[in-house]
């Protein structure tokens, strides 16, 4: 039935489109932001205010952006946009990590190994530089498209001269403080990549290794076995047969009990608790050696410093030591020590003052020779290749007791995925304990930095607590050199304040490339002298700094250096893997140089996985490419997805999840559109708003609710819990606004007089709602809110053109005032549930079709009755969209429905008792008559 009064009603209208078409509209909008320098305008707007500095962790410049990048950058943008609306100046300088092995590896692949090895260092570095810069451009476009505001034209690159120099400036501070030393130490070594690896570059994965049991014959009899006839052996166990040629000692567990098993006339020493198990593996009968009628059982201390014959090199002896790390679960309770190839072994033997033997070169091949310290019979063999030969050698000698394969967790190179070796080499280290770096860093972590989520503090705390000294040298080309020299005349290592200052000057001026092209004489000046022999021929050494050092000193090269930033920064935000990466290298260099953490707060995020919790990979076909999603659905969908997930843990994404996100987007968009449609070209807050005191009761209740929601949103943003922002807003918009309040208001908005107080009252609150939602959603739906700007009342959007420039929303009610009103709304909503049920029942049995046709008799308990009839009581009939609500006090909530009194109004379709005919308009209610001026 057509409504002939339709044109007399104030129906909603807006030019804000219902269909978003983000994929098309966003690029145009983005161009507008760029052409009109919105980021620069924003910096200008908050100039002179307190700064909030979120320091960007530099992504690695190799390849296009993935969903993890998108989540990272969008999260940062959400924070900056929020802080900026609060009035902070939020300079955001994006950065890129440009040095390091992955890029060098790409160049190596490009050239082929042979050509690569023949290419001069400066040429290789040029190619690496080119590769990094090209990838930065690719990534930069991707990040911008996501709507991320920042100083994209002036990012920081770790290959800038300034950054190179900062590397050495921090190095010098720490060197002067005595934290940096050159040491001989087993480090993870990748023989494929020819480099030492940091802990962060190690991935653990299962590996099948040969595990062997070997007898090492003692050169003297231990106490208690003096009268034993045959030879006495230690039975050792190892999973790295190739370390046997460099065996220097065995370790037994202090205070553990050891026994001797008799086999083929020999006494085989092993831990008592493991003895039967070992015999079973060896295929021996378990027959203990008896001494004075009792099994021979002695503590480990009995064997302390006894000697045995080195299993490969005749005439060489090893020594038995005691060490706590010996396990009691596997093996024999006696561990062979190759201190050149194991960390525990290294420390045990170092304590003994032993010379460390390390017979394996950079390629993982045994040095050629016949003496201990070379490969001996295995000269020139690769360690993997040597394993079976060594096992065979021991078998022929009759010292192999047993052999079996075991699968165990073993360190692998993060880059080439090959198993790594431990290898004692000359490296540069940062000492964690010599000058208390560990202690100060831990104090900063625990007492001076806020961690989000809180437990991240334990995670990085445990890592700092347990980490070994930081090996900062790498044997590669693409990085910042460690500024040390070797005297060509006497071999002395040279590094002092004068040489360091000269290098800092050199890097400022020419960058670290100069290290590889300029001669030390040309820039060292008077510092070009060997303090030992007085010679002037210094050779620049070739180790470079760990790439984590590079990005780690960005607090110096960027936060401290750039005048628009500050140090320490307010917040760092990265993936949780950065606890052992950038969070840590930044912490250690900042604490090392200045004694303070480089950040006041750290936000740690999880990884992006597919809908089933699997890693995204090309082979699984489950990769979500953020830029492709932008092209198909729009960046705001990606942004809304980021806000909807709990980023503090691993998060899921697939096309189904994005489709749901897209639905949620429509709910938000439709709500914005409705609010715009009832205000556009009709309501200007300054002209039309109703004073808070004069608002209709229902509107005042909603204003109270809005005040509460805003407080929740604010608190969630404060704690960087975007998914709580999303959840609170989604529930508010969908379950409260769309389904309840906005529906209830339609009658007043459409049918009351245009300028009536009742209608203006509704619009006043809807304007507050729009104002709030635009600001609350601006950090998330940055494009969409920006689109809405043009359609909103001017004063409501601070007379701004761009959404980023809005000020944060503050409700006109205080939380205290809201708290007085909210119980009334809660009671009304509780009763609404009961009424809705009664209406549904009545509709189901066919009594009524529309809720307007009924009146409700409701019984409510005393407390609710008092609220619903008290000072702040609202019109429940309007709220429930029924003709009347009769309230009675009773025990429990209940409601019954009856036919409405009066007749249906032709204009508003409400049932009202009319006072009479209104000049020819017979079926018109009094309110509509007034609106029509009858």
Q: In terms of CB distance, is 589 or 852 closer to Zn ion?
A: 852
193 part of the interface to Zn ion, by CB under 5 A: yes
Buried b (16+ CB within 10 A) or exposed e, 415-424: beeebbbbbb
CB atoms within 10 A of CB 309: 18
Shortest approach of Zn ion to residue 696 CB, angstroms? 17
Q: In terms of CB distance, is 341 or 872 closer to Zn ion?
A: 341
83 part of the interface to Zn ion, by CB under 5 A: no
Shortest approach of Zn ion to residue 101 CB, angstroms? 8
Shortest approach of Zn ion to residue 525 CB, angstroms? 18
The stretch near Zn ion (CB under 5 A) out of 14-22, 62-70, 408-416, 589-597 is 408-416
Residues 472-501 that bind Zn ion (CB under 5 A): 487, 489-490, 492
C-alpha torsion 870→874→880→881, nearest 10: 140
535 part of the interface to Zn ion, by CB under 5 A: yes
**Chain-centre distance for alpha carbon 3:** 58
Element (H, E) at 743: helix 742-751
Among 31, 532, 615, 810, indicate the residue that binds Zn ion (CB under 5 A).
532
SS (H, E, C) 513-581: HHHHHCCHHHHHHHHCCCCCCCCCCEEECCCEECHHHHHHCHHHHHHHCCCCCCCCEEEEEEEHHHHCC
Q: In terms of CB distance, is 416 or 620 closer to Zn ion?
A: 416
Which of 356, 361, 342, 346 shows the shortest CA–CA distance to 194?
361
Shortest approach of Zn ion to residue 909 CB, angstroms? 7
The stretch near Zn ion (CB under 5 A) out of 83-91, 183-191, 515-523, 824-832 is 183-191
The stretch near Zn ion (CB under 5 A) out of 161-169, 187-195, 569-577, 858-866 is 187-195
Q: In terms of CB distance, is 202 or 692 closer to Zn ion?
A: 202
Shortest approach of Zn ion to residue 108 CB, angstroms? 11
Coarse DSSP helix, strand, coil percentages of the chain, rounded to the nearest 5 percent: 45, 20, 35
Any idea what the Cα angle at residue 842 is, between residues 838 and 843, rounded to 5°? 115
Q: In terms of CB distance, is 9 or 822 closer to Zn ion?
A: 9
Q: In terms of CB distance, is 193 or 250 closer to Zn ion?
A: 193
928 part of the interface to Zn ion, by CB under 5 A: yes
917 part of the interface to Zn ion, by CB under 5 A: no
Q: What φ, ψ does residue 319 adopt, rounded to 5°? A: -130, 145
Helices (H) and strands (E) in the chain, counts: 31, 34
Q: In terms of CB distance, is 193 or 806 closer to Zn ion?
A: 193
Residues 371-390 that bind Zn ion (CB under 5 A): none
530 part of the interface to Zn ion, by CB under 5 A: yes
Q: Report CA Rg, the chain.
A: 38
Per-residue contact flags (x/-) with Zn ion for residues 320 to 359, judged by CB under 5 A: ----------------------------------------
Among 179, 190, 569, 854, indicate the residue that binds Zn ion (CB under 5 A).
190
Q: What φ, ψ does residue 60 adopt, rounded to 5°? A: -80, 135
Shortest approach of Zn ion to residue 921 CB, angstroms? 10
The stretch near Zn ion (CB under 5 A) out of 190-198, 428-436, 446-454, 741-749 is 190-198
Cis peptide before 905 (omega within 30 of 0): no
The stretch near Zn ion (CB under 5 A) out of 337-345, 555-563, 839-847, 925-933 is 925-933
595 part of the interface to Zn ion, by CB under 5 A: no
Shortest approach of Zn ion to residue 511 CB, angstroms? 27
DSSP state string for 259-314: EEEEETTEEEEEEHHHHHHHHHHHT----BPEETTEE-EEEGGGGTT-EEE-SSST
Q: In terms of CB distance, is 192 or 850 closer to Zn ion?
A: 192
The stretch near Zn ion (CB under 5 A) out of 182-190, 565-573, 760-768, 913-921 is 182-190
Integer angstrom CA distances of residue 698 from 108, 256, 443, 705, 750: 71, 79, 53, 11, 17
Among 215, 476, 907, 921, indicate the residue that binds Zn ion (CB under 5 A).
907
Shortest approach of Zn ion to residue 592 CB, angstroms? 28
Which of 160, 743, 252 shows the shortest CA–CA distance to 507?
160
Q: In terms of CB distance, is 532 or 820 closer to Zn ion?
A: 532
**C-alpha span between 372 and 358 (Å, rounded):** 10
**C-alpha span between 897 and 481 (Å, rounded):** 84
**C-alpha span between 252 and 335 (Å, rounded):** 7
Order of strands, sheet of 485-487, starting from the edge strand that comes earlier in the sequence: 493-494, 485-487, 538-540
Q: Burial of 735 by CB count in 10 Å (0-12 exposed, 13-18 middle, 19+ buried)?
A: exposed
Residues 609-648 that bind Zn ion (CB under 5 A): none
The stretch near Zn ion (CB under 5 A) out of 152-160, 188-196, 221-229, 313-321 is 188-196
Q: In terms of CB distance, is 297 or 903 closer to Zn ion?
A: 903
**C-alpha span between 771 and 672 (Å, rounded):** 10
Shortest approach of Zn ion to residue 707 CB, angstroms? 32
Shortest approach of Zn ion to residue 588 CB, angstroms? 24
Q: In terms of CB distance, is 130 or 901 closer to Zn ion?
A: 901
904 part of the interface to Zn ion, by CB under 5 A: no
Shortest approach of Zn ion to residue 83 CB, angstroms? 41
Residues 409-428 that bind Zn ion (CB under 5 A): 413, 415-416
Shortest approach of Zn ion to residue 196 CB, angstroms? 11
Shortest approach of Zn ion to residue 4 CB, angstroms? 13
Per-residue contact flags (x/-) with Zn ion for residues 873 to 902, judged by CB under 5 A: ------------------------------
908 part of the interface to Zn ion, by CB under 5 A: yes
Shortest approach of Zn ion to residue 886 CB, angstroms? 21
Among 15, 223, 533, 715, indicate the residue that binds Zn ion (CB under 5 A).
533
Q: In terms of CB distance, is 46 or 910 closer to Zn ion?
A: 910
524 part of the interface to Zn ion, by CB under 5 A: no
Order of strands, sheet of 54-55, starting from the edge strand that comes earlier in the sequence: 54-55, 569-575, 599-605, 450-452
**C-alpha span between 268 and 200 (Å, rounded):** 41
Q: With beta carbons less than 8 A apart as the criterion, state whether 760 and 894 touch.
A: no
DSSP state string for 425-439: EEEEEE-SSTTSHHH
173 part of the interface to Zn ion, by CB under 5 A: no
**C-alpha span between 661 and 642 (Å, rounded):** 10
Shortest approach of Zn ion to residue 247 CB, angstroms? 26
The stretch near Zn ion (CB under 5 A) out of 185-193, 207-215, 432-440, 889-897 is 185-193
DSSP state string for 72-101: HHHHHHHHHHHHHHTT-B-----EEB--SH
Shortest approach of Zn ion to residue 192 CB, angstroms? 4
102 part of the interface to Zn ion, by CB under 5 A: no
Residues 258-287 that bind Zn ion (CB under 5 A): none
11 part of the interface to Zn ion, by CB under 5 A: no
Shortest approach of Zn ion to residue 243 CB, angstroms? 20
**Residues 6+ positions from 510 with CB-CB distance below 8 Å:** 161, 518
905 part of the interface to Zn ion, by CB under 5 A: yes
C-alpha torsion 690→694→696→697, nearest 10: 140
Sites of contact with Zn ion (CB under 5 A): 190, 192-193, 413, 415-416, 487, 489-490, 492, 530, 532-533, 535, 905, 907-908, 925, 928
């Amino acid at each position: 039935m057509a409504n002939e009064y339709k044109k007399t009603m104030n129906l909603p209208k807006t030019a804000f489109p219902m269909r978003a078409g983000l994929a098309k509209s966003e690029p145009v909008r983005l161009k507008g932001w760029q052409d009109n320098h919105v980021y620069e305008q924003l910096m200008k707007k908050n100039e002179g205010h307190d700064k909030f500095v979120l320091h960007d962790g530099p992504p690695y410049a190799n390849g296009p952006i993935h969903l993890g990048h998108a989540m990272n950058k969008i999260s940062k943008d959400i924070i900056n946009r929020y802080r900026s609306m609060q009035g902070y100046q939020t300079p955001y300088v994006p950065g890129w990590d440009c040095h390091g092995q992955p890029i060098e590896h790409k160049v190596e692949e490009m050239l082929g190994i042979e050509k690569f090895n023949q290419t001069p260092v400066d040429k290789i570095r040029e190619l690496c530089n080119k590769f990094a810069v090209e990838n930065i451009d690719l990534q930069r476009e991707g990040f911008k498209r996501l709507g991320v505001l920042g100083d994209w034209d002036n990012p920081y690159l770790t290959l800038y001269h300034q950054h190179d120099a900062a590397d050495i400036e921090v190095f010098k501070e720490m060197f002067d403080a005595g934290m940096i030393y050159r040491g001989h130490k087993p480090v993870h070594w990748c023989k494929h990549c020819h480099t030492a690896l940091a802990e962060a570059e190690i991935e653990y994965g299962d590996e099948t290794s040969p595990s062997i049991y070997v007898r090492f014959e003692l050169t003297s009899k231990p106490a208690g076995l003096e009268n034993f006839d045959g030879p006495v052996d230690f039975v050792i166990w190892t999973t790295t047969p190739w370390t046997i040629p460099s065996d220097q000692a065995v370790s037994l567990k202090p205070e553990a009990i050891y026994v001797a098993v008799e086999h083929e006339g020999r006494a085989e020493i092993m831990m008592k608790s493991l003895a039967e198990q070992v015999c079973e593996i060896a295929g021996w009968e378990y027959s203990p050696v008896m001494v004075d009628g009792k099994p021979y059982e002695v503590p480990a201390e009995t064997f302390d410093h006894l000697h045995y014959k080195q299993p490969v090199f005749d005439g060489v002896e090893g020594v038995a030591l005691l060490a706590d790390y010996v396990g009691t679960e596997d093996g024999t309770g006696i561990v062979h020590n190759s201190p050149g190839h194991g960390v525990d072994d290294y420390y045990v033997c170092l304590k003994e003052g032993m010379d460390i033997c390390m017979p394996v070169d950079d390629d993982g091949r045994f040095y050629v020779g016949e003496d201990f310290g070379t490969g001996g019979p295995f000269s020139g063999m690769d360690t993997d290749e040597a394993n079976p030969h060594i096992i065979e050698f021991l078998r022929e000698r009759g010292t192999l007791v047993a052999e079996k394969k075991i699968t165990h967790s073993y360190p692998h190179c993060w880059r080439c995925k090959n198993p790594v070796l431990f290898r004692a080499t000359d490296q540069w280290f940062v000492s964690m304990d010599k000058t208390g770096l560990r202690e100060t860093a831990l104090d900063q972590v625990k007492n001076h930095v806020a961690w989000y989520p809180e437990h991240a503090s334990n995670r990085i705390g445990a890592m700092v607590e347990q980490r070994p000294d930081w090996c900062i040298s790498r044997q590669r080309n693409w990085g910042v050199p460690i500024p040390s020299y070797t005297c060509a005349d006497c071999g002395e290592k040279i590094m002092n304040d004068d040489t360091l200052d000269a290098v800092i000057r050199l890097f400022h001026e020419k960058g670290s490339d100069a290290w590889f092209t300029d001669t030390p004489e040309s820039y060292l000046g008077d510092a070009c002298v060997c303090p030992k022999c007085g010679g002037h021929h210094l050779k620049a050494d070739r180790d470079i700094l760990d790439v984590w050092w590079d990005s780690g000193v960005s607090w110096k090269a960027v936060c401290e250096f750039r005048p628009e930033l500050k140090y320490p920064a307010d917040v760092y935000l990265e993936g949780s893997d950065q606890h052992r990466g950038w969070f840590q290298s930044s912490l250690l260099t900042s604490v090392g140089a200045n004694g303070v953490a480089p950040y006041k707060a750290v936000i740690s995020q999880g990884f992006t996985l597919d809908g089933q919790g699997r890693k995204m990979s090309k082979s699984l076909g489950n990769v979500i490419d953020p830029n492709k999603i932008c092209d198909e659905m729009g960046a705001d969908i990606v942004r809304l997805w980021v806000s909807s997930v709990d980023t503090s843990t691993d998060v899921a994404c697939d096309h189904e999840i994005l489709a749901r996100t897209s639905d949620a987007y429509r709910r938000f968009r439709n709500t914005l559109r409705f609010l715009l449609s009832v205000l556009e070209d009709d309501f200007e807050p300054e002209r039309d708003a109703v004073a808070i005191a004069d608002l209709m009761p229902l509107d005042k209740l909603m204003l109270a609710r809005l005040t509460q929601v805003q407080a929740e949103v604010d608190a969630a943003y404060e704690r960087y819990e975007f998914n709580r922002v999303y959840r609170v807003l989604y529930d508010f918009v969908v379950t409260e606004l769309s389904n309840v309040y906005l529906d209830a208001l339609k009658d007043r908005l459409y049918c009351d007089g245009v300028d009536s107080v009742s209608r203006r009252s509704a619009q006043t609150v809807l304007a507050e709602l729009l104002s709030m939602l635009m600001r609350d959603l601006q950090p998330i739906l940055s494009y969409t809110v920006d689109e809405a700007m043009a359609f909103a009342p001017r004063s409501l959007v601070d007379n701004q053109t761009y959404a980023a420039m809005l000020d944060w929303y503050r409700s006109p009610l205080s939380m205290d005032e809201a708290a007085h009103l909210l119980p009334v709304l809660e009671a009304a909503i509780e009763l609404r549930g009961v009424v809705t049920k009664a209406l549904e029942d009545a509709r189901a049995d066919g009594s009524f079709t529309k809720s307007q046709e009924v009146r409700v008799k409701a019984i409510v308990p005393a407390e609710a009755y008092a609220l619903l009839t008290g000072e702040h009581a609202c019109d429940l009939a309007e709220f429930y969209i029924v003709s009347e609500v009769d309230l009675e006090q009773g025990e429990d909530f209940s409601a019954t429905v009856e036919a409405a009194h009066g007749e249906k109004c032709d204009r508003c379709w409400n049932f009202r008792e009319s006072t009479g005919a209104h000049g020819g308009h017979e079926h018109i209610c009094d309110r509509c008559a007034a609106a029509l001026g009858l």
